[in-house]
A = this chain, B = another copy of it.
Amino acid sequence: MEEETEKITIVVFSGAVDRLVGMSILTNAAIAMDYAVDIFLMFWGTYAFKKDVLLTNNTLSEHLDFTGEKFIDALKTGGISPWYEMLKQAKEYGNVNVYVCSACGKAWQAKLEDLEFVDDFVGAGEIVYTSTQSKATYFI
């Protein structure tokens, strides 16, 4: 029974599409091992999940000379889908919850209906608490 609640926490501060790919790969890996995954969106993470940003966002976190086709091409060569397709799949097949830090939601004036994949707003205390209850935590 205890197994049912074992969790992986991913704190997503970044809203760069490369690091979001990292989030989605780890999420899919975790649900395949029957972990529940709690994703907490902080500043840029919240921005990247906005419906009016999600599909057009092509910001990279580094190697900015790869922005555009070069980055997309590398993903394709690796057989790696865009982060939002991988996350959609993970939410369908696994126990994945996405929460937004309330202050970060407010910063982008984003209500729940403005955000894709998001289940709820939480206080930052929830991020720390869930991390302490998780088998592993990644800050992305």
Q: Which residues of A contact B (CB under 8 A)?
A: 8, 11, 13-16, 18-19, 21-22, 25-26, 28-30, 32-33, 35, 42-44, 47, 59-63, 74-75, 77-80, 101, 103-109, 123-125, 127-129, 131-132, 134-140
In the complex, how many angstroms separate the beta carbon of A57 from the nearest chain B beta carbon? 9
Q: A26-B128, A33-B125, A125-B33 in contact; A74/B14 too (CB < 8 A)?
A: no
Q: How far does the alpha carbon of A47 sit from the alpha carbon of B128 in the complex, in Å? A: 26
In the complex, how many angstroms separate the beta carbon of A75 from the nearest chain B beta carbon? 6
Q: A14-B62, A61-B62 in contact; A108/B29 too (CB < 8 A)?
A: no
Partner pick for A15 among B43, B62, B78, B123, CB 8 A cutoff: B62
Determine the chain B residues whose CB is within 8 A of the CB of A32 once the complex forms: 125
Q: How far does the alpha carbon of A135 sit from the alpha carbon of B125 in the complex, in Å? A: 14
Asked if B107 contacts A75 (CB within 8 A), the reply is: yes
Asked if B25 contacts A77 (CB within 8 A), the reply is: no
Determine the chain B residues whose CB is within 8 A of the CB of A136 once the complex forms: 128, 131-132, 134, 137
Asked if B78 contacts A103 (CB within 8 A), the reply is: yes
